[in-house]
């Protein structure tokens, strides 16, 4: 029974050893020339001007979550498109329902004003 899992465990062990070895080799052989300029915080081409622990607007997170939702939608549409010929009308109706639910959610978010940035 456990012999079936041996290739998976071997893969995990080898990948862990390679990952750890690369980190150790990089730390041992990598150049080290720390300066004050390299150690200073850097943000988009200019010096940081606020505390890193400042609060973000909730709308930022809402836009990020919406982006993830609509980005993941494509992860479902591409495989569906590759087997569309085999699915037939049933697959078309199911994908239509899926996209309709996404459109309804998008309209709801739009009407609530979540996409407005004041």
Q: Is the pLDDT of residue 47 over 70?
A: no
Q: Is the pLDDT of residue 76 over 90?
A: no
Query: For the segment 86-116, what is each residue's pLDDT rounded down to a tens digit?
Result: 988 999 999 999 989 988 988 998 898 877 7
Does residue 82 lie in a domain region?
Answer: yes
Does residue 88 lie in a domain region?
Answer: yes
Calpha distance 109→116 (Å, rounded): 10
Calpha distance 52→69 (Å, rounded): 27
Q: Is 10 helix (H, G, I), strand (E, B) or coil?
A: helix
The residue among 1 and 20 whose pLDDT is bigger is: 20
Structurally, how many domains does the chain consist of? Answer: 1
Does residue 7 lie in a domain region?
Answer: yes
Does residue 117 lie in a domain region?
Answer: no
29: burial class by Cβ within 10 Å (0-12, 13-18, 19+)?
Answer: exposed
Q: What angle do CA 6, 11, 17 make, to 5 degrees?
A: 125
Does residue 118 lie in a domain region?
Answer: no
Give the CATH number, domain containing residue 74: 1.20.58
Q: What DSSP letter does each residue of 14-63 carry, written as one string?
A: HHHHHHHHHHHHHHHHS-----HHHHS--BTTB---S-TTPPPPHHHHHH
Does residue 71 lie in a domain region?
Answer: yes
What is the domain range of residue 14?
A: 2-112
């Amino acid at each position: 029974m456990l012999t079936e899992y041996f290739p998976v465990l071997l893969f995990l062990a080898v990948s862990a050893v390679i990952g750890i070895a690369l980190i150790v080799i990089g730390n041992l052989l990598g150049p080290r020339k720390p300066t004050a300029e390299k150690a200073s915080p850097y943000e988009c081409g200019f010096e940081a001007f606020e505390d890193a622990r400042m609060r973000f607007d909730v709308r930022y997170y809402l836009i990020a979550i919406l982006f993830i939702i609509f980005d993941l939608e494509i992860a479902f549409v591409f495989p569906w498109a590759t087997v569309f010929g085999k699915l037939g009308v049933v697959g078309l109706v199911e994908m239509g329902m899926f996209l309709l639910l996404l459109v309804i959610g998008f309209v709801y978010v739009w009407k609530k004003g979540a996409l407005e940035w004041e």
